[in-house]
Structure 1
């Protein structure tokens, strides 16, 4: 049977090629997603600046959410957890440690260019690859060593330059220029200040970002345990090896979790899509061989031999495809990872990792799918009597079975349940987490009922088809009704492609639109002041308020925290959004109108709650609750106001002075300014620009510019979703071509017989073209229904409407693409078949 399987594949090159491509590309996409998953799990970030340290002690940002039960949910704190300067002496005193240096890290920018970089104290430079190229170390306040890559052209030792840091701009004397040793893997450009200046410019003087320790000749693993024991009870973690890079770039900790979630979501979608495509392609190829298998049964082949034949062919193709995936999978994974880095989703310092596990997983999953598809496709021809198989080979009609109907019911029930959860339970962007799987469940459920739905839609569409296409339309309708099972096999990939394209793309456009609306509706300010580095000096707020034409100004900062008491049952690992605002003017710069209490009382340790949050926590004005802030600190706050907020985009308001101290920079991030009545926004922007000119490093942006910047950020984040969706749509489009070509090639004998009975080439081409358009229409209708099961509930949750938002051109292009692809992949093989003499074609 193995030899027969190989010979069979040689004589079925088209079917072999279609199946091979479906397996190869499906496994490649799944392996690429697996590589992203492995990268997120490993999260390898080799150190660059701290490569000279054997161990790095940094703040522990892990957090366990409050809750009952044994399985506690884990989260990552949003801000850097800094260490006490006294911890440096504790680490230095551990036996085996030669040196221990507390590193102070803060943002700075060399003016006037204003490119933001991380700056440090010179005392930690000894552990970095930097060496002085010229000059001396910064010895006193006002001294700075420049990275030679940052130095303005012509800068020499002794020059004075302006640097913005910690909300202010100062003049510093260049005492030296430094360069990193080596070429590849060089750290990002930086600045080195004196120890006193670094402590002054840090977010919290007296604290350090991390502690770098050297211990030559010491067992690092053992020393790591000793340091952890010495700092027992402190919120610290000791890093070694490639983990040390997380101290340089704390964002990679949360980035790893985000990458795992992204890879998991799209990996699951890719596995389901690939399994569907592969199973459908292999199953259709096996169904087309019912006549051949029946003849083999008639001449004495046993059921076991036929199963071995089908299994051998499937295994041979799968092994070849798996071998190719070992080369294409890592390339696709690396390409996709580079796109993530380019979009800013993943830090560029993270190393891409793709071992053997994603490869084996992808190959194994698709092997099982291919074998199942092949055996199920040939199951009836192998099982029934040869004479019955020969009779059914002309047109297979039986399709319904108890397992198939049960699975269809389960998938459709799952889609309905997810749709209800999306519409009634979830709100805002989080609703997308259930909307995506709804599309897949609905698509699978409709596909399992494909033959029945195809018959029903053919009946509904027959009148317009006959009216518009005449005789060709009548024959096309008869063909689709008579061959409902095989018609459904061709329409199903069209449904899958159009359903994924319509559903996933409109999910993104609706999410982006909802986010942009929430941002613009919540902002009443006409201008925003930001700093090149390190936040905005709070003292600037009074000067802004004193300007003519200013109605209100509010210092503003954001972070993420957690409600610890009372327990918030709706709170997940992403926490609760926090906004720090000034009490005076907050109601005029933000769209916040309290229904109880007042924002003017937002001072000290107080908070204002959204109405939904207040109801959930059973808290009102005068009540207290405990917050865990972004850096791990806890604070008990008193509720002074309750306000209505857009569902899914709620934030807890706190005094800006309280929240800013627990953020990365320790300062407000921006100042929101509202123009007085009668003052044009342009005039306000000009007045603020004049003030900013006296404070180098400040930038003034109008309301439209702020909204445009937020929109760019939101669309950039959505770009990776568009990219992955595009990959899946392209893959399903290949499935459309594969199934259509396989189906048409199986009808060469039928086309030859039509020619022998008097039909011309043009008549046959017109009939098949109309049939292709009808099949595409059926697939698009079913795909639209599958997409609607997710889009309507998601639109309700995200925007409050019934229709998704986004350009209608997306749907138009999807429909046109589905029809064009089906038409071309039908007409081309039909045209090739019609070039063969009718007698020869009828004998196939």
Structure 2
């Protein structure tokens, strides 16, 4: 009963966190339901069309599932970690760890159910658009009626709920097992090393991506149907691996950048300090940057190399191109929205910090310069590792398909992707910080 009251009280008092969680789960549920609806449509399609729909729902939807789950888990974990002081105060007021854990899990469940229910309507239209697109390219019979039924709803809702509960359980364990004093201290300074299990898992995922690249370059001759699938998987796995390692990567990078940043003035000095003591929280922003840069770059260049080779029949080539652009479009859009969502959540969670800085003499422009400097470092690091992930797809596929190490495709695609990442990251950083400073410094510095 107490945990239930805490759930709804917390959701009312933390609208920013609620909205950020809702957006992450809503987008994830929409993508999952859209691809799962192909399984419902398959029941009314013929054998050949049904096979195509099954492959797309399984392969494309499967990779979308991995990316959606990972990004959703990352966002929810970030939001829950930001609440460490609140959890510590609840402990000092007499709340037990089990009550706090039930509150966190209950909040996640409520938001997941609301997000899944809201995602049904846009998923219906997205599923119809996807089936129509497949019909236009000849992959399924033209005019095939799209269906949205129990498979789409159950898979989308079930997976979204499981992802939210998994993130809540993991984050709740991290928060509740620490003492009140320790939790309050780590809310401002969290220098704990990255867990061995996370490093081990990230290393396996990264090694799997590199393995896909090696197989693409050495085993295939350039004409096998599986070449594109294996090549594309390499970049996706590498991007996820780098994203998992982002907290461990940011610490050493911060140490290297410390001296040049300090020469940049007060904002640079504070940025160097924050990168050192807030690596876990700031690394949450790296995840969508790495995913967006890596997956968008890898898939677009993979398709460009395939178009230039031009050895497949026109009908098949058009179908593959359509599928790839659908994948990169939906996943890149998801990653871009998650980037904005994560940055806003991270910045809003620092309202109290910004208020305290203003109370001790910092001007709003100095705070904005600090945020801008942090955002610049994060986008550079995120684009760097996202680009390295894309290389795992681009170079092996170019070697296998054309025999050349460097593809002939224009660099304009890559520069456009980087520009979008920079604009989204810096624009959201500065815009969200400026919005938080509309709150008077005294109110923000004391209440958060």
* TM-score, normalised relative to structure 2: 0.93
Matches of 2:129 and 2:315 in 1, distance apart? 23
Given that residues 507 and 804 in structure 1 are in contact (C-alpha distance below 8 angstroms), is that contact kept between their aligned partners in structure 2? no
**C-alpha separation in 1, matches of 2:122 and 2:193:** 36
CA contact (8 A) 1:343 1:720 kept: no
State how far apart, in whole Å, the 2-side matches of 1:323 and 1:721 are: 28
Distance (whole Å) between structure 1 residues aligned to residue 125 and residue 11 of structure 2: 28
Q: Which residue of 2 aligns with 1:495?
A: 290
The reply to whether residue 830 of structure 1 matches residue 416 of structure 2 is: no
Cα shift at 1:756:
1.8
Shift of 1:275: 0.2
Matches within 5 A, 1:424-823: 424-428=218-222, 430-462=226-258, 469-514=264-309, 516=310, 518=311, 714-715=317-318, 717-823=320-426
C-alpha deviations, 1:250-269, integer Å up to 9, x for none?
A: xxx43432332223221011
Q: State the alpha-carbon separation in 2 of the partners of residues 13 and 767 from structure 1.
A: 25
Q: CA deviation at 1:470?
A: 4.1
Q: Which aligned pairs between 1:171-570 and structure 2 lie closer than 5 A?
A: 253-428=47-222, 430-462=226-258, 469-514=264-309, 516=310, 518=311
The equivalent of 1:44 in structure 2 is: 45
Shift of 1:498: 0.9
- Structure number with higher helix proportion: 2
Contact 2:347 2:432 (8 Å CA) reproduced: yes
Match of 1:841 in 2: 444
Secondary structure of the 1:428 match is coil
Moved more, 397-406 or 305-314: 397-406
Residues 82-161 of structure 1: matches in 2 within 5 Å? Answer: none
CA deviations 1:570-596 (Å, max 9, x no partner) are xxxxxxxxxxxxxxxxxxxxxxxxxxx
Query: Which protein has the bigger strand share?
Result: 1
Cα 1:349–1:829 shift into 2, 3 Å: closer
How many angstroms apart in 2 are the aligned matches of 1:453 and 1:833? 29
1:313-349 superposed Cα distances (whole Å, 9 cap, x missing partner): 0010011112112322222111211122223332114
How many Å apart are 1:803 and its aligned residue?
2.3
Q: Aligned residue for 1:523?
A: none
Partners of 2:202 and 2:245 within 8 A in 1? yes
1:273 Cα deviation from its structure 2 partner: 1.2
Partners of 1:386 and 1:444 in 2: how far apart? 33
| 1:843 partner SS | helix
Q: State the Cα distance separating 1:406 from its structure 2 match.
A: 2.2
SS of the residue 1:842 aligns to: helix
Displacement, 1:476? 2.0
Distance 1:298 1:271, change over 3 A: same
Does the aligned pair in 2 maintain the 1:498–1:780 contact within 8 Å? Answer: yes
Tell me the distance in 2 between the aligned counterparts of 1:272 and 1:369.
Answer: 11
Secondary structure at the residue paired with 2:249?
helix
The Cα shift of 1:440 comes to 2.4
Corresponding position of 1:29: 31
Q: Provide the aligned C-alpha RMSD in A.
A: 2.0
**Distance in structure 2 (CA, Å) of the matches to 1:388 and 1:303:** 14
CA distance in 2, matches of 1:463, 1:713: 54
**Counterpart-to-counterpart distance in 2, 1:771 and 1:310:** 29
Unaligned 5+ segments in structure 2 are: none
Render the CA deviation track for 1:107-144: whole Å, top value 9, x for unaligned. xxxxxxxxxxxxxxxxxxxxxxxxxxxxxxxxxxxxxx
Instruction: Quote the Cα distance in structure 1 between the aligned partners of 2:259 and 2:228.
Output: 39
State the shift of 1:44 in Å. Answer: 2.5
**Is contact 1:325-1:359 (8 Å) kept?**
no
TM-score w.r.t. structure 1 length?
A: 0.51
